[in-house]
Amino acid sequence: IYSCCYLNRRLNQLSSHDPLWKRHCKKYWLISEKEKSRRNESWRSIFISTYSDLGRYIRYYATLKKAWDDLEKYLGQWCPRMISSLKESVREEDLDAVEAQIHCKLPDDYRCSFRIHNGQKLVVPGLMGSMALSNHYRSEDLLDIDTAAGGFQQRLGLKQCLPLTFCIHTGLSQYMALESVEGRNKYEIFYQCPDQMARNPSAIVMFITGTSYLEWFTSYVNKVVTGGYPIIRDQIFRYVHDKECVATTGDITVSVSTSFLPELSSVNPPHYFFTYRIRIEMSKDALPEKTCQLDSRYWRITNAKGDVEEVQGPGVVGEFPIISPGRVYEYTSCTTFSTTFGYMEGYYTFHCLYYKDRFFNVTIPRFHMVCPAFKVSTA
């Protein structure tokens, strides 16, 4: 509209009609009435000035800005200390300088995100999620543009790959391919792990986590702000819960969420590592005499080949929790498969505390664990 407004007087009059620009300002730049009042400018002026700065990102800006706004609002409520780790936006010339430094073009959706927030400081917990087991901890920071550029790879196996995240505990990163080389698709995002059976030390396997920065970042934010990931100790934990993975026996409900750990997995040799988090809860409406204690567990573990392993033992993770009305008990454990997917199911055996000779089983619902798509580098 702005370019055409000089063609004739009528178009000029229409293009100067300020209410016409309001819809565009809200649609493309998410400018609110409050923001307009603060800036004390016309809608037309706001659109033109914003377009002059961010026009190349008009396809992505509203989507990414909403994702960042939703994430900040959620963090402010549930993980407030993460807010202070977010860095201010960068300028166009900063992004241009990085492209000149690495001799590679950055995708516009990636650049657009950094015009809103320049990642975060290298702190714990990381914005991109955590994972913890008894002897293992991972927390991924979203890298700022300078740190990402410093980690840009030109070595075989990771040629022309830019790190997006980094864990200071494990050294794990998610990378984005800036070119279609070594079997990768351009802008594909992945975790990398070594191919331990290859003679070439540069041979790696890539667990795919996204097809573009926009899809990768917005899908993660959506999972976070809709409660798809639990908040534990002021951190986002990347456990995925299947809503169908719930079983109720009497007054006790068992639900399960799972996570794949690429940093502890390998394709060659096949060793796929999963962790699962189990929640056991007794209804708050249950009678007090329903209070009981967990005695033992039974697992039936099946891999993709149909091989079955049965495990039975006392307690869970060395504990014998007491469950009473309204009480919740949660614990995490892990398992490995030699196949890319498998499932577990079983039951807990409890005894009543009021009637000590009364035992009963509580069903653990079947839950599946699936390795993400992966490919082998052609380096």
Please tell me the predicted confidence (pLDDT) of residue 202: 79
CATH superfamily of 60-225: SMI1/KNR4-like (3.40.1580.10)
- pLDDT tier for residue 378 given thresholds of 50, 70 and 90: confident
Q: For the segment 197-230, what is each residue's pLDDT rounded down to a tens digit? A: 777 877 889 999 999 999 999 999 999 999 999 9
Instruction: Give the model confidence (pLDDT) of 251-277 as tens digits.
Output: 999 999 999 999 999 999 999 999 999
Question: From CA 129, how far away is CA 143, in angstroms rounded?
Answer: 13
Chain centroid to Cα 315, Å, comes to 32
Report d(CA 310, CA 346) in Å as an integer.
Answer: 9
User: What percent of the chain shows pLDDT beyond 70?
Assistant: 96
DSSP string, 175-233: EEESSS-TTPPTT-EEEEEE-TT-SSTT-EEEEEEESSHHHHHHHHHHHHHTT-S-EET
What pLDDT is stored for residue 5 in this prediction?
A: 52
Q: Average pLDDT of 31-48?
A: 92
DSSP symbols for 112-139: HHHTT---B-S-SS-TT-EEEETTEEEE
Check pLDDT > 90 for residue 189. Answer: yes
Query: What was the pLDDT predicted at 357?
Result: 85
Average pLDDT (97-110) is 97
User: Between residues 258 and 6, which one has the greater pLDDT?
Assistant: 258
Asked if residue 189 lies in contact with residue 208, where contact means CB atoms within 8 angstroms, the answer is: yes
Q: Determine the average pLDDT of the residues in 97-108.
A: 97
Q: Which helix (H) or strand (E) holds 92?
A: helix 92-102
* CA 369 remoteness from chain centre: 17
How does pLDDT run across 132-152, given as a tens digit for each residue? 998 899 999 999 999 999 999
Mean pLDDT of 110-124: 96
The fold for domain 239-371 equals Immunoglobulin-like (2.60.40)
DSSP reduced 3-state for 18: coil
Give percent of the chain above pLDDT 90: 85
Over the chain, what is the mean pLDDT?
A: 93
Helix (H, G, I), strand (E, B) or coil at 236: strand
Comparing 10-19, 98-107, 237-246, which segment has the lowest mean pLDDT?
10-19
Give me 143's structure tokens.
């890298």
User: Phi/psi at 56 (nearest 5 deg)?
Assistant: -65, -15
Backbone angles phi, psi at 29, to 5 degrees: -120, 0
Range name among 14-23, 118-127, 258-267, 311-320 with the lowest pLDDT average: 14-23
pLDDT value of residue 374: 95
Q: Mean per-residue pLDDT for 118-128?
A: 94
The domain locations on the chain are 4-56, 60-225, 239-371
Buried b (16+ CB within 10 A) or exposed e, 329-350: beebbebebeebebbbbbbbeb
Rounded CA separation 61/75 (Å): 21
pLDDT confidence of 19, banded at 50, 70, 90? confident
Look at residue 135 in the predicted model and tell me its pLDDT.
86
* Mean pLDDT score, 275-289: 96
Amino acid in the structure at residue 85: S
pLDDT in tens, 308-331: 999 999 999 999 999 999 999 999
pLDDT single digits (tens) 64-94: 999 999 999 999 999 998 999 999 999 999 9
Confidence check: pLDDT of 4 > 70: no
pLDDT score, position 26: 94
